[in-house]
Amino acid sequence: MSLFVSLFWDYFIAIITLASIVGCAVFLKAQSVRRTAEGETSGHVWDEDLEEYNNPLPRWWAWLFYITIAFALAYLVLYPGLGSYGGSLGWTQLKQLEEENRVANEKYGPLYERFAAQDVAALARDPQALAVGQKLFLNQCAQCHASDGGGSRGFPNLTDRDWLWGGAPEAIRTTITEGRRGVMPPLGAALGGGDDVRNVAHYVLSLSGRTHDKLRAFTGKQKFAEVCAACHGAQGKGNQELGAPDLTDGVWLHGSGENAIVEQITKGRTNEMPAHKDILSPARIHVLTAYVLSLSGGGATAGKR
């Protein structure tokens, strides 16, 4: 690992960068002073009689290249670009972000303070707060949950009333602030593998009223009670304290067919919702909580799979 953090790479990048720029300048100069005989061609011919003449670049064009070379050298003096050299201006992406955040807080701080003083349920009905919350959602959440909150395979739909960790305002706020990590361990071996796993899969299908083999479901019920009920409950209704899905509804996060359920039982699943407490201020999380709450029209108690 020390090989990748040694100063060698700083010098390596700096030398290659500077050598490339200087090499371009030398090559351009050499081509600018090179004399060619009048009418000399490069030897390239197209369409039988279309010849390419070996004429030097126009002076104005050559000076444009010189300007770009000078700009590159000036940029490398002022800004980071040569290994660990930070540039004479001391600019960094982090400093720019902090400055932009400072300006944004000065401009929008009073608006967020007004929103922060209101109840989440009230904000979920406030058009202005929802407009602000939608922008936060599009910037922070839409990459996984889609722009309309409808989610996709492996990413929960936020527009229904089905929740893994709870749909109350405080539960949503905690999910956004602290993040969530849901783990379904691989249980194929614990269930006995093979037919036992398939029997449990059919029992799970029976819980939500889907087409299933009744004999397999009956056989898998006991295994479910012994291994799966600890998280999903004896009736399969889930546990929001653990993020364990309700298996009795019709909402499935990773697929609902027999093969999909067998795969989940055998291989397990790990889903992670990243924490946003270091990205968004409490006031912004407050507004975003209200927007997410509004997507489902309120909150509910079921669980996603």
Task: Map out the domains of the chain as residue ranges.
Answer: 2-78, 100-179+274-295, 183-272
Alpha carbon distance 69, 148 (integer Å): 47
pLDDT at 298: 67
- pTM, two decimal places: 0.71
pLDDT at 77: 95
Q: What is the pLDDT of residues 70-105, one digit of tens each?
A: 999 999 999 998 888 889 999 999 999 899 989 988
Considering only CA atoms, which of 143, 128, 154, 175 is closest in space to residue 292? 175
Could you tell me the CATH superfamily of domain 183-272?
Cytochrome c-like domain (1.10.760.10)
CB neighbour burial string for 234-268, b if at least 16 within 10 angstroms, e if fewer: eebbbebebbbbbbbbebbbbeeebeebbbbbbee
- The CATH code that applies to domain 100-179+274-295 is 1.10.760.10
- The SS3 of residue 266 is helix
Q: What is the pLDDT of residues 252-298, one digit of tens each?
A: 999 888 999 999 999 999 999 999 999 999 999 999 999 999 999 86
Do 183-272 and 100-179+274-295 have the same topology in CATH?
A: yes
* Matching residue, tokens 């126009």: 58
